[in-house]
Amino acid sequence: MTLPEDVVACARIVEQGDADRFRTVMAAPVAARARLFPLYAFNIEVARAPWVTQEAMIAEMRLQWWRDALEEIATGADVRKHEVTTPLARAIGAEQARLLDGAIAARRWDIYRDAFEDAVHFDCYLDQTAGHLMWSAAQVLGAPADQEAAVRSVAHVAGLVAFLRAVPELERAGRIPLLDGTQAGVGDLARRIMLRLTMPRVPATVRPALWPAIGARKVLAQVIHDPAMVAEDRMPNALTSWRLGVSAVSGRLLL
C-alpha cells in the first residue's frame, strides 16, 4: 500500500513542523499513516496560525478559516481545497471534526497576551489541544470509547511536557504561560498532572496514536525533581529512538 500524493504532502508538513510526531507516524503501519499524517498536519497549521502575524484580527481570521473547513467536514459539505483539508476529510469523521474545532477555539489563547484565568482554564487548554488531538488520533485508529479518559490522561502528560518546553520562548515573546512560574509552582503543576495518568488499554492498531507521548512521564518526573530545568531551558527530548523502537516492536508504551 502506498500513500496518496496529498497524504505525502501532509507528511512533508509534519516532517518539517513536528519531527517527533513524524518519527512516530513513520514507525506505524501504512494504513495508520494515511490517517495520522493529515491529522498532524492540520495540528501544525492551526498551532502556527496565531504566530505568523502580529495582528490579532488576522490570526483570528486564520483560525476561523480552519473552523469553517471543519464545519464542512462535519456536515458532509464540499470541503474547501487545500493540501491538508482534502486528505483530512478522508481521515476523520464528524465527531473528530467537532473535537478539532474545540482545539482551534482553545488556540485563541495563543493570539493574545492574557494569562490563564486559573488552573481550570489551564487544564481545559491542555485537554482541548493535546487531549482532543490524541483522542481524535486514537478514534480514527479504532480506539474503544471506554478508553477516552485514559488516552486523554496520557495526552495531558505529553501536552504539559511540550508546553513547559515552550515556556522560555513564550516568556521571551511577552506571554504569561504559567499561573505560578516559581520552581515550587512548576513542580506542583507537574505533580498534579502526573497524578492523573492512567495507562490505556487499547488494541495494537491504536497504539501509534499514543506514541507521541513516549518518554513524557520520564521527563515530567525529572521536572518534579528539578523544576528549574524549565526556566533554564534544559528539558531533555522525551522521545528517544530507543523508546520508540521498543514501543513499536513490543507493543509496550514506554512513557
Answer whether 238's CB lies under 8 Å from 218's CB: yes
- Residue 131: name the closest of 209, 220, 74 by CA: 209
**Which DSSP symbol is given to 174?**
T
pLDDT of 238 reads 84
pLDDT of 121 reads 97
Q: d(Cα 199, Cα 216) in Å, to the nearest integer?
A: 13
pLDDT of 252 reads 87
Regions of the chain where pLDDT drops below 50: none
Q: Which grid coordinates belong to 67?
A: 473552523
pTM of the prediction? 0.96
Domain definitions of the chain by residue range: 1-112, 113-255
Longest dimension (CA), the chain: 51
pLDDT of 115 reads 95
